[in-house]
Amino acid sequence: MIMRGDVAVIGVGMTKFDEHWNKQLRDLFVEAALEALDDARVSLKDVKAMFVGNMGSGMWVEQEHLGSLLADYLGISGVPSLKVESACASSGMAFRLGLMSVTAGLHDVVLVGGVEKMSDVTTSESTHHLATAADREWEAFYGMTFPGLFALIARRHMKQYGTTREQLAKVAVKNHKHGSYNPKAQYQRAISIEDVLNSPLVADPLRLLDSSPISDGAAAVIIARSDIARRFTDTPVYVLGSGAATDAIALHDRDDITTLRSVVLAAKEAYNMAKVEPEDVNLAEVHDCFTIAEILAYEDLGFARKGEGGKLIDEGVTELGGKIPVNPSGGLKAKGHPVGATGVAQVVEVTLQLRNEAGKRQVSNAEIGLTHNIGGSGASCIVHILGRGRR
Amino acid sequence: MNFKGDIPAIYGWGSYIPVYRIKLDEIARVWGEEPARVKSGLQVEEISVKGRDEDQVVIAVNAAWTALKRAPEVSPKDIGAVYVGSESKPYAVKPTATIVAAAVGAPVTIRAADYEFACKAGTEALISVMAQVVSGMIRYGLAIGADTSQSWPGDVLEYTAGAGGSAYIIGSKSSTSVAYFESQYSVATDTPDFWRRDEVKYPRHMGRFTGEPAYFKHIMLAANELMSREGLKPSDFDYFVPHQPNGTFPVRVALRLGFKPEQVKPGLISPWVGNFYSGSSLTGLSRVLDKAKPGQRILLVSFGSGAGADAFSLVTQEAIEGKKGLAPTVDDYISRKKYVDYSTYLKFWDKIYGV
Amino acid sequence: MSDMSVPKTPRIWQLAERRYRLIGSKCLKCGRVFVGSRKVCPQCGSRELEDVELSRKGKIYSYTVIRASPMEREKYGPYIMAIVELDDGCKLTTEIVDCSPEEIDIGTEVEATFRKIGEESKSGVIYYACKFRPVAKGV
């Protein structure tokens, strides 16, 4: 695979994920992008292209044409700049397009960002907007919502494999604990299993504390050809593998809803490209939009056998200090989930971890990290594998 | 018999009643009335309530589907007309009939329209379809009476305004029709007993004026016209099905016409589900057909405020026995119920101001 | 707030009859049935598909109760959503009505019923489609 190790992440930046009442989408993006540029010691004129992941600016803030708007406000008008949309996997996909543009030889240095501003509308409007990532005519039209889709998955998983309500709660408890070490997390407080089980039902059996919040935020990374990366930084992190896949848009058109086929396919591509096995992964940032999604990720990424994801959380394998810490950043659950920013924010966290700069949440001896970013109910998935060394 | 050529007949019948009920005790509690007095005056125990996702179109379509189940020999492609009678259409302008036609898979080459004549709009729709069948204009037609009966909160009408309706597949009499029409007579006068002005949400009525000069006068005129012209008397009928604004009027009008209580009771629905307005007498007929044996004679008389009445004499046929079990009966719908309180009823009806 | 919705009448109309009558697509090669209108079978790649009336009865495959409603259903209150596996093997997403969550489970038999889905606004076009309800005893 030609992409393996050919591109390096040379700088990262992100806003705190939060309800940013007095900031606009463009403010958030520019803040994250400038932080990434400064981190990479890259000047504005070095940036040759930009890819921005965003799910629904047209719905949430009535603004499209983000590529041009954000290049303009970042002061780099003139470079090609493009908005990339794949629902909640938008910026994971933007990152992949950035990699492709570098390996294709089009650009040496590229800025990849992700941004979402969700808090400017009511919760019920956000619920509606998020549901546009499902099949509008055959799911959302009938009243289906995103929590609803993952609730359908959870109920089947519990029925087929005996996954328990407590195991789901433990995912939230773990991620909130991790989030308490992350100064950029939306929630930096620990919660208990009882807190989860006593929180209001959102879509039975999922509760409020099984769910990632509605968030505002942006994340950005600077990528460059590996052979020039050290001109800018002493700590490049290399992209070893990239995998992307899709599945039927509607959950009801899939044979088995307890596995996300897009994840299995994307992971296979990424592992093959990176020449890495699941057991080689030292940490993973996975898409825990709902607690059940993290259990599915354990299984579909190969960290656990199908149906045994719950056991992994019981055994503490995925906690900080465990064999494969998952979501040391706090995950979508605690760090926050500004949907279009999430994919790049995962790359930011893995990069910091591999650079040994993750502070209190640092995973020791992290050599290889994985990101797992899904769109909709898993109709799209992007997996990336990053390494401290080029291998 | 006042049909000259082909004889109109029913091929399939079917009803739909929402699952929700409110007890009259609950309505009386809210308005400070004495439940026992209200119930004994009206002879109604409870009424059906439309769900939050049910309206007149929903009732019409589900009733039509039920009727089609009982007419397996009728292809929807052979339906030439869809007429729906109602006084609670969700659209002031836009036919319910076209939605029904699409939902049953009728061809585009149909006649379709909605009828309005207060509570006898459903039988007007039926007459229209019958006329087109016997004139040879169409092979089969679909006639429906359906309402989510409206009433002002706190009005006496609220104790009886139910939701439901019935549909009939009509064609020319044959060995597979379940009942044929012997004769049909109507009356109409300018009698303002009950009305709803344009842009006003709920109807108004003149209280006791809706009784003697309206309901009783017109039903008796139409029934007597039919019986005298056809040389029939009450004892010639096995069943009498009048419009049912409550549980007392139908029995009283039956007795005054010379019918016995056992002739009117099989077609009564109002004591358990209330008044379906345009769907009232047609659902009473549906309940009778659910039980009738071949060769029995039925007198159906609708009443519509404003005012008028349509009288029909029908005779059941052999084929009725084989079709009863093909779809849920009126009693199946009556017995399938969930009670709601008055607040929920207001919510389902969208009667909470500002919401 | 339904009054905020923008008119989308033609889009709803395009699918209205398919929704009213539960018309789906069947692959003539592999036999799989889909709720939407398809030109290519995603299972076997065949381009030979035809419209079919879907089965009107089925069983609940999975279900949930939506308590955080999208804006068009803000005043609707909690409602049950499910994937139903029809007798012909087609799965679809639908609301389950006329019952409480306690009365159903995975495997509960349900049947189609015609219902109102929503409306553009108080003065706008009304949408209808099939929902499902538990099969009544004795019917």
Asked about B230 being catalytic, the answer comes back as no
Closest CB from B54, B65, B332 relative to C115? B54
Confidence band for C5, pLDDT divided at 50, 70 and 90 = low
**What's the CA gap between C72 and C4, in Å, rounded?**
9
How high is the pLDDT of residue A391? 73
Beta bridge partners of C57: C111
Tell me the CATH number at A205.
Answer: 3.40.47.10
CB-side neighbour CA atoms (13 Å) of A273? 25
How high is the pLDDT of residue B84? 98
B partners (3+ CB pairs within 8 A) are C
Asked about A88 being catalytic, the answer comes back as yes
Which strands form B338-339's sheet, in the order they lie side by side? B46-49, B20-23, B338-339
CATH code given to domain B8-177+328-347:
3.40.47.10
Q: Do B90 and C136 touch (CB under 8 A)?
A: no
**What's the CA gap between A258 and A251, in Å, rounded?**
10
Q: Is the pLDDT of residue C1 over 80?
A: no
Asked if residue A56 is part of any domain, the answer here is: yes
CB-side neighbour CA atoms (13 Å) of A390? 13
Cα B251 to the center of its chain, rounded Å: 17
CB proximity C72 to A under 8 Å: yes
Q: Are residues A185 and A54 in the same domain?
A: no
Q: Where are the beta strands (DSSP E) in chain C?
A: 23-27, 33-34, 49-53, 57-66, 79-86, 91-96, 109-119, 126-134
Q: Are residues A181 and A270 in the same domain?
A: yes
Q: Are residues A364 and A335 in the same domain?
A: yes
Q: Do C71 and A128 touch (CB under 8 A)?
A: yes
Q: Which domain holds residue C101?
A: 2-17+55-134
Q: Are residues A151 and A277 in the same domain?
A: yes
Searching chain C, which residue's CA lies closest to the CA of residue B63?
Answer: C114
Break chain B down into helix, strand, coil percent, rounded to 5. 40, 25, 35
**In chain C, what residues touch B351 (CB-CB under 8 Å)?**
none
Helix (H, G, I), strand (E, B) or coil at A19: coil
Q: Are residues A276 and A383 in the same domain?
A: yes
Q: Is the pLDDT of residue C139 over 70?
A: no
Distance in Å, alpha carbon of B167 to nearest chain C alpha carbon? 15
CATH code given to domain B180-320:
3.40.47.10
Tell me the CATH number at C111.
Answer: 2.40.50
**What's the CA gap between A77 and B214, in Å, rounded?**
80
Q: Do A156 and C66 touch (CB under 8 A)?
A: no
Searching chain C, which residue's CA lies closest to the CA of residue A255?
Answer: C91
**What's the CA gap between B41 and C68, in Å, rounded?**
44
Answer yes or no: are the C-beta atoms of C82 and C103 closer than 8 Å: no
How high is the pLDDT of residue A2? 65
Q: Which residues contact B325 (CB under 8 A, 6 or more apart)?
A: none
Q: Are residues A300 and A224 in the same domain?
A: no
* Higher per-residue confidence, C53 vs B1: C53
Residues of C with CB under 8 A from a CB of B: 16-17, 20-21, 75-77, 95, 97-98, 113-117, 126, 128, 131, 133, 136, 138-139
Asked if residue A234 is part of any domain, the answer here is: no
Mutate to test the interface with C, among A129, A138, A208 (most CBs of C within 10 A): A138
Tens digit of pLDDT at every position of chain A (391 positions): 467 889 999 999 999 999 999 999 999 999 999 999 999 999 999 999 999 999 999 999 999 999 999 999 999 999 999 999 999 999 999 999 999 999 999 999 999 999 999 999 999 999 999 999 999 999 999 999 999 999 999 999 999 999 999 999 999 999 999 999 999 999 999 999 999 999 999 999 999 999 999 999 999 999 999 999 999 999 999 999 999 999 999 999 999 999 999 999 999 999 999 999 999 999 999 999 999 999 999 999 999 999 999 999 999 999 999 999 999 999 999 999 999 999 999 999 999 999 999 999 999 999 999 999 999 999 999 999 999 998 7
How high is the pLDDT of residue C138? 47
**What's the CA gap between A116 and A340, in Å, rounded?**
5
Asked about B218 being catalytic, the answer comes back as no
Distance in Å, alpha carbon of B323 to nearest chain C alpha carbon? 14
Closest CB from A137, A145, A253 relative to C68? A145
**In chain A, what residues touch C74 (CB-CB under 8 Å)?**
124
Residue B17, φ and ψ in degrees, nearest 5 = -135, 125
Helix (H, G, I), strand (E, B) or coil at A279: helix
Which strands form A216-225's sheet, in the order they lie side by side? A81-84, A49-53, A109-117, A216-225, A7-14, A237-246, A380-387, A368-375, A283-285
C partners (3+ CB pairs within 8 A) are A, B
Using alpha carbons, list the distances in angstroms from residue B281 to A37, B126, B170, B274, B278: 78, 12, 17, 11, 8
Number of other CB atoms surrounding residue A200 within 10 Å:
9
Asked if residue A378 is part of any domain, the answer here is: yes
Q: Are residues A135 and A73 in the same domain?
A: no
Q: Are residues A314 and A357 in the same domain?
A: yes
Using alpha carbons, list the distances in angstroms from residue A40 to A70, A223, A232, A235: 19, 9, 6, 9
Q: Do B65 and C114 touch (CB under 8 A)?
A: yes
CB proximity A160 to C under 8 Å: no
How high is the pLDDT of residue B50? 98
Q: Do A137 and C95 touch (CB under 8 A)?
A: no
- What are the DSSP calls for B44-58, one per residue? --EEEE--TT--HHH
Number of domains within chain A: 2
From the list B33, B119, B124, B158, the catalytic residue is B119
Closest CB from A128, A131, A203 relative to C65? A203
Q: Do A142 and C64 touch (CB under 8 A)?
A: no
Q: Are residues A281 and A144 in the same domain?
A: yes
Confidence band for C6, pLDDT divided at 50, 70 and 90 = low
Q: Are residues A258 and A349 in the same domain?
A: yes
CB-side neighbour CA atoms (13 Å) of A237? 28
Searching chain C, which residue's CA lies closest to the CA of residue B348?
Answer: C76
CA angle A25/A28/A31 to nearest 5° reads: 150
**In chain A, what residues touch C64 (CB-CB under 8 Å)?**
147-148, 151-152, 155, 203-206
CB proximity A256 to C under 8 Å: no
CB proximity A209 to C under 8 Å: no
How high is the pLDDT of residue C137? 62
Q: Are residues A146 and A295 in the same domain?
A: yes
**In this structure, what token pair is assigned to residue B252?**
């009283």
How high is the pLDDT of residue C2? 45
Searching chain A, which residue's CA lies closest to the CA of residue C75?
Answer: A124
Distance in Å, alpha carbon of B268 to nearest chain C alpha carbon? 21
**In chain C, what residues touch B19 (CB-CB under 8 Å)?**
98, 133
From the list A337, A372, A381, A384, the catalytic residue is A337
Searching chain C, which residue's CA lies closest to the CA of residue A125?
Answer: C71
Chain C residues 120-139 with a CB less than 8 Å from chain A: 127, 129, 131
Return the domain boundaries, chain B. 8-177+328-347, 180-320
Chain A residues 92-131 with a CB less than 8 Å from chain C: 122-125, 127-128, 131
> What are the 10-residue block averages of pLDDT along chain B, 355 residues in total?
92 98 98 97 98 98 98 98 97 97 98 98 98 97 98 96 98 98 98 94 93 97 98 98 98 98 98 98 98 98 97 98 97 97 95 73
Largest CA distance in chain C: 46
Q: Do A127 and C101 touch (CB under 8 A)?
A: no
Q: Which domain holds residue A182?
A: 127-212+239-387
Q: Are residues A258 and A112 in the same domain?
A: no
Distance in Å, alpha carbon of B341 to nearest chain C alpha carbon? 15
Closest CB from A128, A138, A148 relative to C64? A148
Searching chain B, which residue's CA lies closest to the CA of residue C75?
Answer: B355
Number of domains within chain C: 1
**In this structure, what token pair is assigned to residue B216?**
């009783």
